[in-house]
Structures are given as structure tokens and as C-alpha cells.
Amino acid sequence: MSVVIPVYKGATTLPQVVAELAPLQAGFETPDGSQARLSEVLLVHDHGPDDSAAVMRALQERYPWVRTLWLSRNYGQHPATLAGMASSGGDWVVTMDEDGQHDPAYIGAMLDVALREQSAVVYALPLNAAPHGALRNLASKTAKRIVAVGVGQKDVGAFQSFRLILGEAARSTAAYAGAGVYLDVALGWVAGAPAQCGVMSREEGGRSSGYSTRRLLSHFWRMVLSSGTRGLRIVSALGVTFAGVGLVWAIALAISRLAGGSLPAGWTSIIVVVLVGTGAVLFSLGVIAEYLGVAVNLALGKPPYLLVSDPGAGPLGHRPATR
């Protein structure tokens, strides 16, 4: 099993996180009786403002199973996580934050959920309020609801940075995903429906969040753009609606005129032309947008298919004996 930790502001919290992972390196038994072992921890340096680099070097010297990866500049949490996933070698890959709010004690339970439900991705399901403040928590829930309803990303409510991913799925996602893709959307392309495992979140180690309002808005917009073309199809639907309303209105006005109704000269033709013309423009934009959507999917790296090994012979087939 590999653990990937993107590091941005981890100078004060990272040593404790790695120390909590250390006992898993000798092997552990999950609550359901499966056997697992942590083989490596990958720390991905994302050029934060503190002295995380020195801390990472010290941890690599202290623990032989800790590996450090160095990005050329600051890319953000998702690209850093993808870089770690691409460099991992475990049958399973766990991704977690540097700030200590994710408890490694739940990794065994997450593995049990994956094996029971035969799921390639398991997200942590916080059973308590996230330690970010009421306003940010509300904004996060609202944004996910908008994405779920507006663009049809039904799994968005499960998305968390504390994840357990089948190694093949993790490395394939890292290989296919293009620049700007939202990591969890890309995982859904190759891993299918995710499962969830209840956990208790902890405080963030007394440090401030690495996410500014601008970063959070960028995060949200990347999720919207990665989630498909439903928004583009809404434009086409609006075009058809406007054109339909224009046609119905034209028929209604023509009947009114034939029945002797009085209307201002030229008003009928202007309204009909505006409605039908607007509908035609919106529909045309929708068609163009569909073509752009295909190009966007190609740019984001969405694969047409993915071949994997026999699930029964791989990590998902390693179920504990019945007790």
C-alpha cells in the first residue's frame, strides 16, 4: 500500500502525520481480518511558503520507506496528488492531507469497505463537521449541490481528499488526466461509482488553511468544467425553447389578427423575429458548444476505455477468510 501526501504548508504538521503512519509499515490487520502493509509514503513538494522542504528531507533520512518528490513549481493540490499517484507502486493508494485532520487509523476500515463492496475508490465520509468554519462548510456543500444538479455529477457529494484507490486505477488516472482536470472527476472516468467509509475528522494541526477564497473558487470552477457537457446542452435546450415559444406566439398572434384583434403595426413581426432569432442563435451556440465539449474531454484526458487485470486475481480479490 502506498500513501500519497501533497505538501504545501506542512512544516509543523507533517512529522506527526508520518509518525502516525509508521506502525502500518510493519503490517496491520483490518477490522474485517484482511492483512495489509504500508510499503511507502510519497511526500510531494508543492512549493509552499514554509520550510516544508527541509522537513521532508529529514523525514526521508529518518524513515527508509518515505520518498520525496519535487515539483518544479507550485501546481496545486490535485496535480501534486496526481504526481504522487503516478510514482506509486502499491496495490492500493491512499491520498491524505498534510495537516493531520485525516486519521490513518481509518485506512484499514476503508480497505474493508473496498473489499466488501468491490469498489476501486473509497472516500472518507466525515461523521462530524469539517474543521473549516461554518461559512466555508456551507459554501462547500452549496457548491457540490450546484455541481450535482447543474452538471449531473452525482458522486460529487462524496468527494474528499482522504481516499483509498485501487493502484491500477490511481496510476491510470494519473497517466490519462490532462492539465486542469478535477482529480475526483477523472477517477470516476476509470473507477466507476465510489464507496464511502465513515470517519471522524480532526483539527488541522493549528495551522491556517492553504486555500484562499480565490483558490477555492478556482477549485469549484475546475470541478464544473471537468464534469461533462450538461451545461452546454442547457444552452441548446434554451435555444429550442425560445424558438418554440416564438413559433407558438406567431401562430397565436396570427389567429388573433384573423379574428379581428387589434395590434400595433409591426409589433407582431418584431416579437416573432426576436424570439425565433434568439432561439436560433442559442441553439447554434449549443451545437458549437457540443463540439467544444468533445475537444474539452480530449484535452482533459478522458479515456475511451481502460483495460485492467482480472479483478478476482488482483487486490480486490483478496478477501479475508470467513470467521
Residue 6 phi, psi dihedral angles, 5° rounding: -70, 135
Residue spans of the domains in the chain: they are: 2-227, 230-300
Q: How much is the pLDDT for 238?
A: 76
Closest CA to 79 of 164, 159, 6, 166: 6
C-alpha cell at 169: 486505477
Query: What does pLDDT average to in each consecutive run of 10 residues of the chain (323 residues)?
Result: 96 96 96 96 95 96 97 92 96 96 96 96 90 59 61 74 96 87 87 93 67 65 65 72 78 76 70 76 75 70 73 77 51
For residues 41 and 277, what is the distance between their CA atoms, to the nearest angstrom? 59
Q: pLDDT tens-digit profile of 42-61? A: 999 999 999 999 999 999 99
Sequence-distant (6+) residues with CB within 8 A of 21 are 3, 38, 41, 104
- Per-residue burial over 142-155, b = 16 or more CB atoms within 10 Å of its CB, e = otherwise: ebbeebeeebebeb
Q: How much is the pLDDT for 87?
A: 96
Q: How much is the pLDDT for 42?
A: 98
Q: How much is the pLDDT for 323?
A: 47
| DSSP H or E stretch at residue 6 | strand 2-7
Q: pLDDT tens-digit profile of 276-296? A: 777 778 777 777 777 777 776
Q: How much is the pLDDT for 90?
A: 96
Full-model pTM: 0.76
Looking at the domain 2-227, which fold is it? Spore Coat Polysaccharide Biosynthesis Protein SpsA; Chain A (3.90.550)
Residue 223 phi, psi dihedral angles, 5° rounding: -65, -40
Q: Find the DSSP H helices in the chain.
A: 14-21, 52-62, 77-87, 107-117, 134-150, 167-176, 183-191, 213-226, 230-258, 267-300
Q: How much is the pLDDT for 131?
A: 62
Q: How much is the pLDDT for 134?
A: 59
Q: CB-side exposure of 14: number of CA atoms within 13 Å? A: 26
- Residue 195's beta-bridge partner residues? 122
> How do the residues of the chain divide into helix, strand and coil, expressed in percent and rounded to 5?
55, 10, 35
Within 10 Å of residue 274's Cβ, how many Cβ atoms? 13
